[in-house]
A and B are shown apart, each in its own frame.
Chain A
Amino acid sequence: MASERPVSTRAPSQPDDRRDGPGRPGRRVPGGRPGGRPGRIRRGGGPGRLGPLPWIGPAVLLILVVVVWPIVELVRTSFLEISVAGFIRGSAGTEKYRKLFDEPQFGQVLVWTVVWTVVVVGVTVVLSLGLAQLFNQRFPGRRVTRWALIAPWAASVLMTAIGFRWMLDQTAGVLNTLMVDLGLIDAPRDWLGSPGTAWPWMMFVAVFVSLPFTTYTLLAGLQTIPADLYEAARIDGAGARQVYRRVTLPLLRPALLVSLVINLINVFNSFPIIWAMTQGGPGSETATTTVFMFQLKSTDIAESAAMSVINFAMVVVLVLVFLRVSRWNRES
């Protein structure tokens, strides 16, 4: 086993070691993993011989190239002066950030990003609690109806958004027709033309596409609650509402928290819905920070990078919250 082989001085998990590992494992000294600590390898033999690099190296390499490198590039770009054609003209210091903060729409975009995220996630989670409860009941056709619920999740978010854009079309949109026929509105309206009506509709679509995942997560959570608990509560004389408040909700907390944070990240990043329905327009009046970033990309990519860095920082905060919640879930 590994302990009989020459002990390598190279630590397999060091970053500079990763570069040559995955591509040409044959060149590596056999016994690359440190054998000094017996018992590290749970089950001896094969997989331990060359160390972890040939096994996890390619995965790490892929993450380094496509996830880590862009993060570095992103930050670097935000401090550069770059021509429209993409040539670096020199350093810009913090000028791009100042330019970004001075954009007249910047404050409004930030505010709408917060409103968008909070409203969409809040409504999604509340509705999903109800949906999960409903689809957890037993009734004829439960399987089929649950499948129907999948559609917005499996279908591309972009195409769902385009579908709604078409249904809201002023002259031919079926939703306009329907609302006129139901007497909700007098005449067809251009819903996406003005921010006041475009925002609520885009939020509706965002909730619509977020509901399936959230509902399924909560359903999975509901199914981990043992039936005995419900029975015990009932025997103790608790009413349906009390059972829900005292038994279901507390035990659902882990699933609830996770769906909450994952939704926060998804909705904050959700670009295709707005891009397909209004492109953030008119101007930047229906833009969130990700859409604004994309709008800036065509005029000044460095300023766009500055916006991205701020975006990224917010995502990092959300990810840290996620990791915190995960640990909290496991410990309690």
Chain B
Amino acid sequence: MAANPRASRTTGPRRVASGPPAPGGETRGRRGSALRVRAGRLREPRTLAVAVSAWLLAALFLAPYLEMVVTALRPAGELRDRGYLPDRLEWSNLVDVWRESTLADNLQVSLVVAGGATVLVLLVSLPAAYYTARVRYRGRKLFLLLVLVTQMFQPTALLVGLYREFHQLEMLNSVWTLVLCNAAFNLAFAVWILTAYIASIPAELEEAAMVDGTGRLGAMARVTLPLALPGVVTAVIFTFITSWNEFVMGLTLSTEPAKQPLTVGINNFIGNYTVQWNYLFAASVVAIVPVIILFAFIERHVVSGLTAGSVK
């Protein structure tokens, strides 16, 4: 069946894995020892070639973002300069941009939307994931299928419907609408990854805690939740980043400039007669850099969450 959280078992915490060992981790280790002989020896021409091309590619992937940083720090007078690097760096751009436009409002909207969506996703997905992982209830498969299908639908496909719905509810231009929508489209990822994590934690651990006199909720809070923490952290960071980066819904469901998220605010910059690219990228850098760093923490778990229910 498509909707089986065990399929994404690889995501489970290995230290408490009750079933067969997670395939990814296990084979990775074996593979590692088999290849250890030629690990990390730059003197060998093959490794050198691999390392050089990998480093070059890495630089290539970072280059556009470095150019954005450089542009963000260019003095206004040097924007139209054809030189690769400006003569001096204007650090005040990073501060001034927030005074020159509605971007400060947009930043606030983005923070509320991403933060609110993250909290809502956790509140809604934790109980659902806990129950789904622990109990074989009627409609369980249906629920998991619904979640899986939701993950496949993107806001873009439903945009006009979303607009019409919230137009009729008179909820356009509201941060809460954006919170609700972002939460809904990130729910699937959170439910999948949390179900997989909780399922990999033996229920006996909870039962032991309950024998020791803790209630069911206490056992959940003191035993299950801490063990599922990597999953919770992944869900939190992923939801925050996706909502932070979201653009289409912000563009459609908010029409007043001050009530749009930062992505839309930055895009509006281009609509202006003269684009102040240095300010535009100063805002972008503030929006992008923290997110890339956060993402690096959860990188390992994201793939299994996104492809959940589909790969063995």
CB distance from A23 to the nearest CB of B (A): 13
Interface Cβ pair total, 8 Å cutoff? 353
Give the interface segment out of B12-20, B99-107, B159-167.
Answer: B159-167
Q: Considering the chains assembled together, what is the distance between the CA atoms of A58 and B295 in angstroms? A: 28
Give the one of B54, B57, B157, B244 with max A CB within 10 A: B157
8 Å CB interface, A121-151 against B:
131, 134-135, 137-142, 144-151
Chain A residues near B4 (CB-CB < 8 A): 330
A304 nearest in chain B by CB position: B160
CB distance from A228 to the nearest CB of B (A): 8
Partner among A56, A65, A254 whose Cβ is within 8 Å of the Cβ of B143: A56
Chain A residues near B1 (CB-CB < 8 A): 327, 330
Is the contact region of chain B dominated by helix, strand, or loop, or is it mixed?
Answer: helix
A145 nearest in chain B by CB position: B58
A172 and B165 form a contact (CB under 8 A): no
On whether A322 and B152 interact (CB within 8 A), knowing A147-B296, A163-B67, the answer reads yes
8 Å CB interface, B280-297 against A:
280-281, 284, 287-288, 291-292, 294-296
CB distance from A323 to the nearest CB of B (A): 5
Give the one of A42, A155, A311 with max B CB within 10 A: A155
Chain A residues near B295 (CB-CB < 8 A): 150, 153-154
Q: Considering the chains assembled together, what is the distance between the CA atoms of A216 and B295 in angstroms? A: 13
Q: List 29 A-B contacts (CB under 8 A).
A: A12-B138, A54-B127, A56-B127, A58-B123, A59-B128, A59-B191, A60-B146, A71-B161, A74-B164, A134-B50, A137-B54, A138-B39, A139-B42, A145-B57, A172-B81, A172-B277, A208-B61, A213-B306, A217-B306, A223-B24, A225-B27, A227-B31, A269-B154, A272-B247, A304-B160, A315-B153, A315-B157, A329-B310, A330-B7
B68 and A45 form a contact (CB under 8 A): no
A62 and B187 form a contact (CB under 8 A): yes
Chain A residues near B135 (CB-CB < 8 A): 41-43, 47-48, 52
A323 nearest in chain B by CB position: B2
Q: Considering the chains assembled together, what is the distance between the CA atoms of A290 and B61 in angstroms? A: 27
Q: Considering the chains assembled together, what is the distance between the CA atoms of A163 and B139 in angstroms? A: 46
- Asked if A90 is at the interface (CB within 8 A of a chain B CB), the reply is no
- Asked if B304 is at the interface (CB within 8 A of a chain A CB), the reply is yes
- Asked if B174 is at the interface (CB within 8 A of a chain A CB), the reply is no
Chain B residue total in the interface (Cβ 8 A): 118
8 Å CB interface, B228-252 against A:
241, 244-245, 247-248, 252
- Asked if B150 is at the interface (CB within 8 A of a chain A CB), the reply is yes
B80 and A172 form a contact (CB under 8 A): yes
Chain A residue total in the interface (Cβ 8 A): 122
8 Å CB interface, B134-152 against A:
134-140, 142-143, 146-150, 152
A60 and B161 form a contact (CB under 8 A): no
Chain B residues near A140 (CB-CB < 8 A): 40, 42, 47, 51
B64 and A326 form a contact (CB under 8 A): no
- Asked if A239 is at the interface (CB within 8 A of a chain B CB), the reply is no
Q: Considering the chains assembled together, what is the distance between the CA atoms of A34 and B139 in angstroms? A: 12
A66 and B181 form a contact (CB under 8 A): yes
Q: Considering the chains assembled together, what is the distance between the CA atoms of A134 and B237 in angstroms? A: 28
A41 and B136 form a contact (CB under 8 A): yes
CB distance from B211 to the nearest CB of A (A): 12
Chain B residues near A177 (CB-CB < 8 A): 82, 84
- Asked if A242 is at the interface (CB within 8 A of a chain B CB), the reply is no
B67 and A70 form a contact (CB under 8 A): no
Given pairs A55-B131, A276-B267, A318-B152, 9 additional interface contacts (CB within 8 A): A52-B140, A148-B61, A156-B247, A159-B263, A162-B284, A163-B68, A227-B27, A323-B149, A330-B2
8 Å CB interface, A152-174 against B:
152-160, 162-167, 171-172, 174
Chain B residues near A305 (CB-CB < 8 A): 160-161, 164
B187 and A63 form a contact (CB under 8 A): yes
A59 and B125 form a contact (CB under 8 A): yes
Chain B residues near A255 (CB-CB < 8 A): 307, 311
